[in-house]
Amino acid sequence: MIDFMILEQFKLTNKVALVTGGNRGLGQAMAIGLAQAGAFVFITSRSGKADETLAQIRKDGGDGAVIQADFLQDDGRDIVNSVVEKNGRIDILINNAGTIRRGPALEFSEDDWSTVVDVNLNAVWKLSQAAAQKMAAQGGGKIINNASVLGYQGGLTVPSYTATKHAIIGLTRALANEWASQNINVNAIAPGYFKTDMTDSLQTDPNRSEQILARIPAGYWGDPSDLAGTAVYLASNASRYVHGQVVVVDGGWLSR
C-alpha cells in the first residue's frame, strides 16, 4: 500500500546539489531543474561565472553558488570538500562537465585523447568517490553521470569521447553495485542529440544535421530543458530503488 503522496517524492527541499559544468547547456538546464525542485545548487564553471544560470534559479525562487573549477587541473575532491564546508553536506552530484575533440582516428593526437579522458572520465571518478565518501557518512545520496548515446555506439571521428562514454556507463554500474548498500544511488543519463555548444558544428552542417534529424523519430534536436525532469527524478526519493541504470533521453534515436 502506498502511504505517501507521489509528488512529494520528487521534491528536493533542503537538499544540497553539485552540478559540474552547470553554467550552460545540459548542465544549466539540470541545475535549474534541481533548484526548482527545492535544492540549493552549487555549479562548477571553468570561468568561475554562471550568471545566467544563477539569475534563472533566483528568479524561480531558489538559490545557488558557483565554484570555479578546471577539471584538467583541479582535484574533484577539493571541490566536494568545498561544497560540504559551505553547506554542511552533499546530497546530489551530477557529473555533467565534459569535452569533445573531433578528428579521424588515424590522425588523432595523444593530447586530444588525454584531454577528453581526463575531463570525461578521470574527473568523474574522483568526484564520485569523494562525494560517495561524504554521502556514506551522512546516510546516503544520489550520483548521476552524464553518459551519451555514444556509450552504445561508435560514432564518427570522436574516438576518445566515445571511449569515455562507454566507460561512464560501466563505471555507473560498477559503483552502483558497491554503493547501493550505503543508500547511494548511482545512475546515468544518456542524452541524444541536443542543441548545445558541443553539437554546434553538427547543427550548422546542413548535410550532417539532415542525416541526424532523419534518424530521430521525434523529428527535432533535443532542448536542454528536456533533461531537467529526468535529472530531478534520479535525484529525488522517487527513484530510491533505481540503481545502476542508464536513462536514455534521445527522441528515439537508439530505437531506430
Q: Give tens-digit pLDDT for 28-40.
A: 999 999 999 999 9
- The answer to whether residue 9 sits within a structural domain is no
- The answer to whether residue 58 sits within a structural domain is yes
R_g of the chain, CA atoms, integer Å: 18
**pLDDT tens sequence across 72-103:** 998 889 999 999 999 999 999 999 999 999 99
The CATH number of residue 242's host domain is 3.40.50.720
pLDDT confidence of residue 197: 85
pTM for the whole structure:
0.95
pLDDT confidence of residue 3: 65
By CB atoms closer than 10 A (0-12, 13-18, 19+), residue 209 is middle
Looking at residues 230-256, what average pLDDT do you find? 97
Query: Under DSSP, is residue 203 helix (H, G, I), strand (E, B) or coil?
Result: helix
Q: Report d(CA 96, CA 27) in Å as an integer.
A: 6
pLDDT confidence of residue 199: 87
**pLDDT tens sequence across 180-204:** 999 999 999 999 999 988 888 888 9
pLDDT confidence of residue 202: 86
- The answer to whether residue 255 sits within a structural domain is no
Task: Give strand ranges (E) for 134-240.
Answer: 141-146, 184-191
165 pLDDT more than 80: yes
Q: Report d(CA 97, CA 224) in Å as an integer.
A: 14
Torsion over CA of 98, 104, 107 and 110, rounded to 10 degrees? 20
- The answer to whether residue 2 sits within a structural domain is no
* Active-site option among 152, 161, 193, 220: 161
- The answer to whether residue 103 sits within a structural domain is yes
Q: Report d(CA 29, CA 224) in Å as an integer.
A: 6
Note down the domain range covering 27: 14-249
161 catalytic residue (yes or no) = yes
Report residue 158 as a C-alpha cell.
570522436
Least confident of 14-23, 198-207, 234-243: 198-207
Provide the number of structural domains found in the chain.
Answer: 1
Report residue 198 as a C-alpha cell.
558541443
- The answer to whether residue 208 sits within a structural domain is yes
Q: How far apart are the first and last CA of the chain?
A: 39
- The answer to whether residue 49 sits within a structural domain is yes
- The answer to whether residue 188 sits within a structural domain is yes
Give how far the C-alpha of residue 224 lies from the chain's centroid of Cα atoms, to the nearest Å: 12
> Does residue 15 contact residue 38 with C-beta atoms inside 8 Å?
yes
Q: Report d(CA 109, CA 112) in Å as an integer.
A: 5
Q: Which residues contact 146 (CB under 8 A, 6 or more apart)?
A: 26, 27, 94, 95, 96, 98, 168, 188, 189, 191
Q: What is the mean pLDDT of the chain?
A: 95
DSSP state of 238: G
Report residue 228 as a C-alpha cell.
531537467
Nearest Cα neighbor of 80 from 10, 137, 24, 162 is 137
Looking at residues 168-178, what average pLDDT do you find? 98
Q: Report d(CA 133, CA 172) in Å as an integer.
A: 16
1 pLDDT more than 70: no
Banded pLDDT at 253 (limits 50, 70, 90): very high
Nearest Cα neighbor of 175 from 192, 187, 189 is 187
48 pLDDT more than 90: no
4 pLDDT more than 80: no
